[in-house]
Structure 1
C-alpha cells in the first residue's frame, strides 16, 4: 500500500470536511437557518470518520459515518419542512444509521461477532445508502433552488455510491489509496456545492432591517418617478424585487425578469415562481418580526407575456398573500401602457 498517497488523500478529505463544517456553521450563526446547522454537524461527523480511519478505531469510524448520514438526512428533512414539502414524521428515519451502527458495535464489543462486515461494513453501507437517499430527495426543492438543488443532489448521489465500495474495497491494499483520493475529490466538490447552495439568495432568508420602515402594509401603485425616490428610501430594507431596472440597492433580494437566462433571472411567464418565492419571503419576514416589502417594477412587461386576465388573477393572489402576512406590495405602473378598463380593474382588485 502506498502509505504516502493514502495519507495525502485522507488529509485532503479531512481538510475539505472541516472547511465545509466551518462555512455551514457560519451560515447558521449569521442567518439562523437550521438546515445549515445540521449539515455543519454532518461534516464534523464526516471529518471524524476520516480521523477514525487514520487511527484505526473501527467503532468510532462506524459511529462517525452513521452520524454523518443522520445529520445530513435530518437537515434535508428540516429544509423540506421549511418549504412546506416534507413532514416531521420523516425525521425518525434519520435514526436508522446510528441504530444499526450501535447494534454492530454492541455485537463486536460483547464478542457476539468479530466479523468486520457486521461491526463496520454493514453499518457503513447503510450510511452510504442514506447519503444517496439524501441526494435523491433534495431534487424535490429544485423548483425553489433551481440548478443548485440538482447539483447538490447529483454530487451526494455520486458520493454515496462511492462510499458503498468501502465495505468491499477498504481492505484491498492497492485500492485503498485510490479510494481515499476519490473520496478527497468528492469531499472537496460536495463541500463546494453545498457551500454554494447555502449561500444562495433563496436559502438565506431576509434579515430584520436595522432601520424603521415607514411604508404601510397593503398594496401601493406608484409611478416610475415615485419609484426612483422610493428606491432611496428603501435602500436599507431587504426588499424582494422582481425588476427590469438594473440600478437597484444591493440590500435587495433581486430577480431580473427576462427571457434571457442569466444569474438570478426569471422568465416573465413563470408567475408561479414569483408567487412561491414571495410567500416564502413574506412568511420568513413575519417570523422575524417585520412586514416584508415586494416590488414589481415591470407589470407592463408581464402583461405582454401573460395577457391582462392572467396577470389580474396573479396580482389578486399576490395581494391576498401580502395582506395575510402583513407585508407591502409595490407595483410600478406606467398609466399610458394600460387602457381605462384595465386600470379600473387593477384598482378594484388591488384596493
Structure 2
C-alpha cells in the first residue's frame, strides 16, 4: 500500500476510534441511549471509504449499519429532548430498512453501491433534521453538526464513483478530514455540554419545587429562571431572555421567527394548551411563563388579557402544570390587579 493511502486510512481510523470511545464513555456517565447509538455508529464506520483497502461489499454493509445507527441516534436524541413525539414506524422502520438494504445488496452483488447511495441521502436528511430540531437547544453546535452530517451524506453518494480510481490522496485526505473532524468536534461539544449531562436530572419535576399558579414581580425573573434552569419550559417573553433550551416566544410587533404579535392572544392560549397536554401525556409537568402583560395591555383591553390568562391557567391546572406570570403591580389599577390575582389563585 502506498504511503498516501496509509496515512489517510490510519488517521481516519484513529479519529473514528477516539470518537467511538469518547461517546461510549459519555454514555456510561449520562446513560443517554442516543450517545450509545452514536458511539456504535462511529465504530461501525471504521472500515468505510478505504478506497479498496477493504472489500466494497464490507464497506457497503458497514456504511449502511453506521448510518442506520446515526439516524437512530438522531431520532432518539429528539425524543430525549422531548422536541416532538415520533412514531415507531419512523424511528425504527426507516433505519432498519437502510441497514437491511445495505447488508442485503452486499450479500447479493459483487460490487454493491446502494448502501452509499441510499444511506448518503438519508444522512443528508438527518443533517437537516439536526439543524431544524436541535438548534434551539444546542445553537451553533447543532447547526455545525447538521452541516457536517449533510456534507458527509453528499460525499457518501459520490464515493462509488471514485472507489476503484480514487483521486489524489492528499486532496481526498484533506476533504475527509474537513468533514470528519468538525463532525467529531460538534458531536463532542453537544454530548459533553452542561445541558446534555444535566438534562435527565432537570426532568425531575419534584426537585423544582414550583407548583400551581403564581403572579410575581419582574424583579424576581432571574431568580425563577435559575430555579427552572434546563427544564423544558414554555415562555412568552417581552423584556427578558429565555434560558437555553426553553420553548420561547417573543412578544413583539416586529415580524420574526418565534415572535407573536401582541393582539394574537389566542395563539398564546393555543400554544399553551398544546404544550400542557403533551407534557401530561408524556408523564411530565409543564411549566409556562408569561412576561410582558403590560405590553399586551397596550394592544388589548383588559378583559381580553384576563380571559387569555384564565384560559391558560385552567389548562395548566387541568394538566397538573405550573403557570408563572410576571407583572408589575404599579402598572395596574387596584381593580385590575385584584382581578389578575384572583384569576391566578393568589387571593
When normalised by structure 1's length, the TM-score is 0.68
**Cα shift at 1:150:** 4.7
Gaps of 5+ in 1: 108-112, 260-264
Structure 1: how far apart are the matches of 2:213 and 2:234? 14
- 2:81 equivalent to 1:88: no
* Aligned partners of 1:268 and 1:305 also within 8 Å: no
Q: For 1:202-241, what aligned pairs fall within 5 Å after superposition?
A: 205=199, 207-208=201-202, 215=209, 217-223=211-217, 227=220, 231=223, 240=233
2:73 is matched with 75
Per the alignment, do residues 183 and 143 of structure 1 end up closer, same or farther by CA in structure 2, a change over 3 Å counting?
Answer: closer
- 2:159 equivalent to 1:161: no
Q: For 1:56-67, what aligned pairs fall within 5 Å after superposition?
A: 56-67=54-65
Structure 1: how far apart are the matches of 2:106 and 2:44? 17
**Which deviates more from structure 2 when the two are superposed, residues 7-16 or residues 97-106?**
7-16
2:13 is matched with 14
User: Deviation string for 1:107-147 (max 9, x for gaps)?
Assistant: 3xxxxx5x43x3xx332222222212322444552685586
Structure 2: how far apart are the matches of 1:157 and 1:304? 46
Structure 2: how far apart are the matches of 1:26 and 1:315? 46
* Aligned partners of 1:31 and 1:207 also within 8 Å: no
Task: State the SS of the aligned residue for 2:323.
Answer: strand
When normalised by structure 2's length, the TM-score is 0.69
User: Deviation string for 1:248-271 (max 9, x for gaps)?
Assistant: 9x9997979798xxxxx9867698
Q: For 1:153-302, what aligned pairs fall within 5 Å after superposition?
A: 153-198=146-191, 199=193, 201=195, 205=199, 207-208=201-202, 215=209, 217-223=211-217, 227=220, 231=223, 240=233, 279=275, 283=279, 287=283, 299-300=293-294
Structure 2: how far apart are the matches of 1:188 and 1:80? 23
Task: State the SS of the aligned residue for 1:49.
Answer: coil
User: Deviation string for 1:253-308 (max 9, x for gaps)?
Assistant: 7979798xxxxx98676986x957x948x9399857xx576655654466568886
Task: State the SS of the aligned residue for 2:201.
Answer: coil
Per the alignment, do residues 315 and 13 of structure 1 end up closer, same or farther by CA in structure 2, a change over 3 Å counting?
Answer: farther
**Cα shift at 1:92:** 0.7
Aligned residues: 329
**Cα shift at 1:188:** 1.3
Structure 1: how far apart are the matches of 2:157 and 2:337? 62
Task: State the SS of the aligned residue for 2:178.
Answer: helix
2:40 is matched with 41
2:327 is matched with 333
Structure 1: how far apart are the matches of 2:297 and 2:24? 43
Structure 2: how far apart are the matches of 1:70 and 1:43? 11
Structure 2: how far apart are the matches of 1:204 and 1:127? 32
